[in-house]
Structure 1
Amino acid sequence: MQAERLQGRSIQFYRRQHVKPDGRSLYLYGYDEPRGDAGAEFQDPVSSASEMRFHPLRQEWALYSPHRQNRTFQPSRAANPLAPATPGGAITEIPFPDFELAVFGNRFPSLHPAAPAPVEVPWENRSAAGDAEVVVYSPDDAGSLATIGQDRRVLLIEALIDRYQHHFAAGAAYVLPFENRGEAVGVTLSHPHGQIYAFPIVPEPQAKAEAAFAGGYDLEAERQKWAEDFEVSAAGGLRSYCPPYARFPHEVWISSEARRAGPWEFSSDEVEGLASLLGDTVARYDRLFDQPMPYMMSFQAAPRENDGSFQFTVQFYPIMRSAGRLKYLASVEQATGVFTVDVDPKAAAKALRDI
């Protein structure tokens, strides 16, 4: 399929869609027009047999996807499914010899556009209709948000904005781009990548955040009250900081000084600022204990339907509390949702700021 030239918030870029033999779509994003013919591809059908079930005591939904037990686990470098295709090499998810940034439907999805309708059972359930995508930052099998460079981070944000628009148009209630980094977090593929889940419902934490903003909570006004003590860095009208109510040691948030529901409302300067702070945050993390920091990161934007009061954040949850020591979500956290925090956010902000 012919590539489309798109005008982003800060750049012009190309998007090329390729439909895989199993029906999944692959999107190639780049400053240069993606070209070339596809090579060998996976042929096996992708399971859509996921389901959502409601927990009556916790008042939240869970996803059930037994087929994910078969997903790729720590493959060799030669069998890396996120690498560009090479002549005579293993089949990969990106059947082209080169690319800048790629997004494709997950081969082992928790959410699927064709998820079956719920069957009648003696508990509350619903279809897991939605989407699950993989976002590959680079053709290189090593690196991070800190090392891929500012241009690639800007392209990533523009691609995520494009995916937000695609999934909202398709009916998603909530869209969550996220990244899991490090084996300690459970990552099964080391190639630098993130994911996107497009949900048919607004998950409980985001629904509560939406209600808080609708009720008058102003994150930026609050941030200004404690900015100096908790701030880490700033760029392009955005700030990074350790919120005083952080639940993880060295937890960092990024948000804009102007109220923005999501990155689709950003100016070109704000896109550049967010791209810079994503790299800056990961670089600081990696220098904090002189090793790559395992973390969970998510883009927390407004649901598709919102009243305009939502304030977008990027939230990083690192899981090292000190060198060689992991933060585990043990009995108290799992049973009650009440986190025990070992590092004071003010001290965490100073440690990261001083790097």
Structure 2
Amino acid sequence: MTRLSRTLLADGRELLYFDDAGTLPRDPATLVDNRDLPPRAEPGEVRFDALSGDWVAVAAHRQSRTHLPPADQCPICPTTPANPSEIPAPDYDVVVFENRFPSLGPVTGELPHAGAPEHSGWGLSAPAYGRCEVVSFTPQHTGSFAELSEQRARTVIDAWAQRTEALSALPGIKQVFPFENRGADIGVTLHHPHGQIYAYPYVTPRAGVLAAAAAAHFERSGGKESLAASILRSEQNDGSRMILEGEHFSAYVPFAARWPLEIHLVPHRHVPDLAALDGAEREELTVVYLDLLKRLDRLYPTPTPYISAWHQAPLVAGLRESGRLHLQLTSPRRAADKLKFLAGSEAAMGAFINDTTPEAVAERLRMVADPALATAAPQEGKHA
């Protein structure tokens, strides 16, 4: 069972150690951060875009954040005498800590209402309420999530679940978003395998669109079926885009995929977030998620850059009930030596043009399954 230890860094930021099952209890002395850090920066701000109805975070202080440091200066490697890092302990399994250069937070609160009929919303701003956390998957400076052991991957999933529950309870938080940016082509600023968690004081634009569609479908069905369940059933019946089907989770390339590589991983049970998954579901998620990441890396001779985005139901009445947890795993890689860039149509209009067919991508992802998992992992899609 994952064990949790809490401490504070020298500037007051929270840090949590999540230990693998079987790890020995931590020496309390290793929880002390002895660095002389400057006080935390004041929160940035969020500004309301009256044209779109979106909130935009303004975080100029992030210009000075750490950018691709050498291994001996990595801020999330374990502390050494030569490198007093963000992690006081000389070793760890998984850690989560408040970002030193956050886009949101550290304070939380309610944003002002932007929908008053007598006000256009122009000029409306507020403190950048919320929370931004870093999740380090391993003390090893090199590697990737796909190379973690199943035990370590399960610890990360337990950490995501615990942080989802804790952050969801903070005042003013409307959405919790765990994610990983992997690869220089995605724009990572640290080579060390890690992810992040954002707790937003508003429902993000993409989540708002997804939640509205889910709520409308739920209402049309008389509250009997979620949109995610309906889509999964349709994908299973068609079969051409299925990648794998398990007892608790299934993965497929969506019918209208926007990206050259795009995978949706969905639970069979209606759950709003990672915190709601039971033990059996987390066990299977560990295996399936590692499997999907490894398939991405088998597609080409070099590692595939990706964004792993965990969509969780917003913490808003009317959207929470119909929203359903799912993973959106995407990559801009459209060939071994080509990337898709968001140019005019995508960046300006939000109108995506895909250079690949979802059916062909699904076929390739089925073909690169690890033969060693054939008897232990969930079964392949029926058209494999």
Choose which of 76, 79, 89 in structure 2 pairs with 1:82: 76
In 2, Cα distance between the equivalents of 1:276 and 1:77? 30
Q: Which moved more, 1:272-281 or 1:172-181?
A: 272-281
Matched, 1:73 2:83: no
TM-score by length of 2: 0.85
Q: Which moved more, 1:105-114 or 1:300-309?
A: 300-309
Structure 1 pair 115–139 and aligned structure 2 pair: CA distance change class (3 A): same
Query: Do 1:248 and 1:317's aligned partners in 2 also have CA atoms closer than 8 Å?
Result: yes
Identity %: 32
In the TM superposition, what is the alpha-carbon distance from 1:41 to its structure 2 partner? 2.7
Matched, 1:226 2:239: no
In 1, Cα distance between the equivalents of 2:337 and 2:297? 13
Structure 1 pair 271–199 and aligned structure 2 pair: CA distance change class (3 A): same
In 1, Cα distance between the equivalents of 2:89 and 2:45? 33
Structure 1 pair 115–224 and aligned structure 2 pair: CA distance change class (3 A): closer
Question: Which position in structure 2 is the counterpart of 1:58?
Answer: 52
Matched, 1:335 2:348: yes
Question: Which position in structure 1 is the counterpart of 2:379?
Answer: none
Query: Do 1:83 and 1:141's aligned partners in 2 also have CA atoms closer than 8 Å?
Result: yes
SS at match of 1:215: helix
In the TM superposition, what is the alpha-carbon distance from 1:180 to its structure 2 partner? 0.5
In the TM superposition, what is the alpha-carbon distance from 1:338 to its structure 2 partner? 0.5
SS at match of 2:133: strand
TM-score by length of 1: 0.92
In 2, Cα distance between the equivalents of 1:141 and 1:207? 36
Structure 1 pair 40–247 and aligned structure 2 pair: CA distance change class (3 A): same
State the superposition RMSD in angstroms: 1.9
Unmatched 5+ stretches in structure 1? 1-11
Matched, 1:103 2:104: no
Matched, 1:244 2:255: yes
Query: Do 1:48 and 1:115's aligned partners in 2 also have CA atoms closer than 8 Å?
Result: no
Q: Deviations over 1:64-107 (max 9, x none)?
A: 00010000011011001110012x22120101111110000001
In 1, Cα distance between the equivalents of 2:79 and 2:4? 19
In 1, Cα distance between the equivalents of 2:140 and 2:247? 28
Choose which of 281, 287, 304 in structure 2 pairs with 1:293: 304
Question: Which position in structure 2 is the counterpart of 1:7?
Answer: none
Residue type of the alignment partner of 1:98: D
Question: Which position in structure 2 is the counterpart of 1:5?
Answer: none
Counterparts of 1:1-355 in structure 2, within 5 Å, are 12-30=1-19, 31=21, 32=23, 33-37=25-29, 38=32, 40-41=34-35, 43-86=37-80, 88-114=81-107, 123-171=123-171, 172-216=173-217, 218-227=227-236, 228-306=239-317, 307-355=320-368
Q: Which moved more, 1:264-273 or 1:332-341?
A: 264-273
In 2, Cα distance between the equivalents of 1:288 and 1:297? 17
SS at match of 1:146: helix
In 2, Cα distance between the equivalents of 1:234 and 1:286? 20
Structure 1 pair 236–96 and aligned structure 2 pair: CA distance change class (3 A): farther
Query: Do 2:50 and 2:122's aligned partners in 1 also have CA atoms closer than 8 Å?
Result: no
Query: Do 2:111 and 2:201's aligned partners in 1 also have CA atoms closer than 8 Å?
Result: no
In 2, Cα distance between the equivalents of 1:188 and 1:175? 22
In 2, Cα distance between the equivalents of 1:236 and 1:77? 41
Query: Do 2:10 and 2:33's aligned partners in 1 also have CA atoms closer than 8 Å?
Result: no
SS at match of 2:146: coil
In 1, Cα distance between the equivalents of 2:207 and 2:67? 30
In the TM superposition, what is the alpha-carbon distance from 1:113 to its structure 2 partner? 2.8
In the TM superposition, what is the alpha-carbon distance from 1:247 to its structure 2 partner? 0.7
Q: Deviations over 1:114-146 (max 9, x none)?
A: 379999x96122221110000000001112121
In the TM superposition, what is the alpha-carbon distance from 1:305 to its structure 2 partner? 2.9
Query: Do 1:236 and 1:269's aligned partners in 2 also have CA atoms closer than 8 Å?
Result: no
Q: Which moved more, 1:99-108 or 1:214-223?
A: 214-223
Query: Do 2:109 and 2:201's aligned partners in 1 also have CA atoms closer than 8 Å?
Result: no
Look at both structures and tell me which one has the larger radius of gyration over its CA atoms. Answer: 2
- Give the paired residue count: 342
In 2, Cα distance between the equivalents of 1:93 and 1:41? 9
In the TM superposition, what is the alpha-carbon distance from 1:36 to its structure 2 partner? 4.2
Unmatched 5+ stretches in structure 2? 113-120, 218-225, 369-384
